[in-house]
Amino acid sequence: MSLATPTTLPSAKGAEGRRHFGQFPLQRRVLLSQMPLAISTVVVAIAVLVIEPGVATGSPHFVLGLGGIGLLTVLAGVVPWHRFHPVVYWVIPLLDFVAIAPLWTAARYVVDGMSLLSAFPVFWLAWSGIYPALALTLGFLGSAAVTWWPYLPGEAPFPDELVESALTRPVVVPFLMLALGVAASILTRSMDKQRVELRSALDRAASQNRMLQAVVETSDVGILVVDGRGNDILMNQAQRRTHFIGLPPGRDDGPEDELLLFEADGVTPIPPEERPVTQALQGKDYRGRIIAIGTDGSQQHLSVSASSMYDEEDHFDGTVVVFQNVTDLMDAIQTRERFVAEVSHEFRTPLTSIIGYLDVALDEDLDPIVRKFLITSQRNADRLLGLVTSLLDSAADSSTVTVQEVNLARLVQNSVESVEVQAKKAGLRLTADLPDRMGAEADPVKMSQVVDNLLSNAIKYTPAGGSVTVALRRLGGVGGIGGVDGGVDGGGDWAELTVRDTGFGMTKAERERLFTNFYRTEHVRKAAIPGTGLGLAITQGFVRAHGGEILVSSEKDVGSTFTVRIPIAGSTF
């Protein structure tokens, strides 16, 4: 599958290869319409020659008729009919009647049913589709003239024609011809109608196709459509540009599987079976997968989405893969993160120094008013340091943890103890249900931060009179937590920490955005409760870095429960 070949939408003109009768030039159509009669006449002439050579060579009627049809066939093919009004070519079928009449007169007793030759011009007139009533009348009169010709005065009747039953022929045949003409006329009209409808459907499809093509081509988003066998059906301009960026250096064309694709970090090559198009062709649908394409200065980041197509029988019929260039967005995010990290780092150093000096100053013998001012300054400097630390944590790489043997029970106990005063001040009942020991392979600093964050939230967002309950327990066995809320699968034991409060709680919509950076619920913002909206995003990053998960269940005005589960891994105690 080459992605470099520009492809366009499948054309609505697919049926163009073969032209149908109506699309031929008029001259050719007139000749083709005359041919059935010409060929049938040749067959009849051969039959007469074989059965009664005398008639074929000796009858002036026969020769006249044969010559007439031959001449009309030549005229049908050479006259530039398109220069005249369409009705002018009727002269050929009408003169055909005149030629058939002597032919049938001469040979009617040799080849029975020769008058049926007049069916050809009748059919032709009716089939022409113009002036239907006139065409039917002329066809009827023409076939009647042919059948009645032998009975005109001066023509010698053949003995069998004197038989009464034979006399029915001149009456019946013209009516049969008329019926044939009517049938042909109805058929033509219904076919014409169908053709008009088909034409307009095709025109509509073609115009929609053009519109779609314009939309697809003007889109900044790269679009690739691949059929079930892996052939490109469509690739728009944006995608052709992206494809070019991904080509190995020095190449200006190449198939998709040679493009330089990396994971979002821009350096880890994507294994062949995990390439976006390969996965899409396996029928996998996905949204917003971030990858990098190309190398060095020209590398771009793409957000890739794939959606499978299915035929009427629900079989996989191809896939649509959409590539959105998110390089600017990624750059902006990186710049923001760098900025936050640098600014908060720069803030922290002078702040720590301010706090240090305030501490020292407060140890001095001070005027009570000055002491009060300094305590307020110290409180606010502490708060500022807390905010700056949160910002720094959010910018720091939360995906790496340095694990060691940790007694989680002790770790949680420490955190609980450090917020006891705070809880008491807030008028809350703080209870903890912890085992004596629970060992885990964890990063003690990051896990402490996890517990601190959850505890400080529970205290901040629970009104006086409420309660905060902390519990730690061990979940055992393979897949112990796999079934919970689509949680993590895995073997071995897990540590589960729950922090339950009877606070403000949250709505479902609020719960869904909880782990997003800087998100704070409306109620909390309006109540001006201090915070940055970063704590839970950081907490989630730390928990995931431990291979665990964080879940929340909450009800507005009832309370919230945060549950953290991490694998105990190789802990020996």
**Residues at the interface with ligand ADP (CB under 6 A):** 453, 457-458, 461, 501, 503-506, 514, 519-521, 524, 531-537, 560
Contact (Cβ atoms closer than 8 angstroms) between residue 27 and residue 79? yes
CA distance 525 to 531: 9
Residue 477 identity (one-letter amino acid): G
CB of 115 or CB of 394, closer to ligand ADP: 394
Residues in the chain: 573
- Smallest gap from Cβ 506 to ligand ADP, in A, equals 5
- Smallest gap from Cβ 219 to ligand ADP, in A, equals 37
Find the helix packing angle between 91-107 and 132-148, rounded to 10°: 20
Contact (Cβ atoms closer than 8 angstroms) between residue 101 and residue 142? no
Contact (Cβ atoms closer than 8 angstroms) between residue 466 and residue 430? no
CB of 52 or CB of 510, closer to ligand ADP: 510
Residue 397 identity (one-letter amino acid): D
- Smallest gap from Cβ 358 to ligand ADP, in A, equals 24
CB of 451 or CB of 514, closer to ligand ADP: 514
- Smallest gap from Cβ 499 to ligand ADP, in A, equals 8
CB of 318 or CB of 533, closer to ligand ADP: 533
CB of 117 or CB of 455, closer to ligand ADP: 455
- Smallest gap from Cβ 533 to ligand ADP, in A, equals 4
CA distance 169 to 161: 9
Q: Which long-range contacts (CB under 8 A, 24 or more apart) does 396-403 make?
A: 396/341, 398/446, 398/538, 398/541, 398/542, 398/544, 398/545, 399/541, 399/544, 399/545, 400/545, 401/442, 401/443, 401/446, 401/542, 401/545, 401/546, 402/443, 403/441, 403/442, 403/443, 403/546, 403/569
- Smallest gap from Cβ 450 to ligand ADP, in A, equals 11
CB of 125 or CB of 534, closer to ligand ADP: 534
CA distance 216 to 239: 10
* Partners of 136 in beta bridges: none
Residue 33: left if φ>0, alpha if ψ -120 to 50, beta else—which one? alpha
CB of 13 or CB of 525, closer to ligand ADP: 525
Segment holding 453, helix H or strand E = helix 444-460
CB of 446 or CB of 520, closer to ligand ADP: 520
- Smallest gap from Cβ 529 to ligand ADP, in A, equals 7
CA distance 184 to 196: 18
CA distance 565 to 547: 9
- Smallest gap from Cβ 424 to ligand ADP, in A, equals 18
CB of 289 or CB of 523, closer to ligand ADP: 523
CB of 505 or CB of 567, closer to ligand ADP: 505
CA distance 326 to 332: 10
CB of 266 or CB of 386, closer to ligand ADP: 386
- Smallest gap from Cβ 483 to ligand ADP, in A, equals 25
Q: DSSP secondary-structure letter at 11?
A: P
Contact (Cβ atoms closer than 8 angstroms) between residue 233 and residue 267? no
Residue 480 identity (one-letter amino acid): G
Q: Which residue in 505, 501, 495 sits closest to 472, CA to CA?
A: 495
Give me 495's structure tokens: 């540590």
- Smallest gap from Cβ 539 to ligand ADP, in A, equals 7
Contact (Cβ atoms closer than 8 angstroms) between residue 260 and residue 275? no
- Smallest gap from Cβ 325 to ligand ADP, in A, equals 31
Sheet holding 232-235, edge to edge: 232-235, 222-227, 316-325, 300-310, 286-293, 261-263
Percentage helix, strand, coil, to 5, in the chain?
A: 55, 15, 25
Integer distance in angstroms from the first to the last C-alpha of the chain? Answer: 56
- Smallest gap from Cβ 532 to ligand ADP, in A, equals 4
CB of 203 or CB of 512, closer to ligand ADP: 512
Q: Which DSSP string corresponds to 207-256?
A: HHHHHHHHHHHH-SSEEEEEETTS-EEEE-HHHHHHHHHHSPTT-S--BG
- Smallest gap from Cβ 323 to ligand ADP, in A, equals 33
- Smallest gap from Cβ 310 to ligand ADP, in A, equals 41
CB of 330 or CB of 534, closer to ligand ADP: 534
CB of 37 or CB of 458, closer to ligand ADP: 458
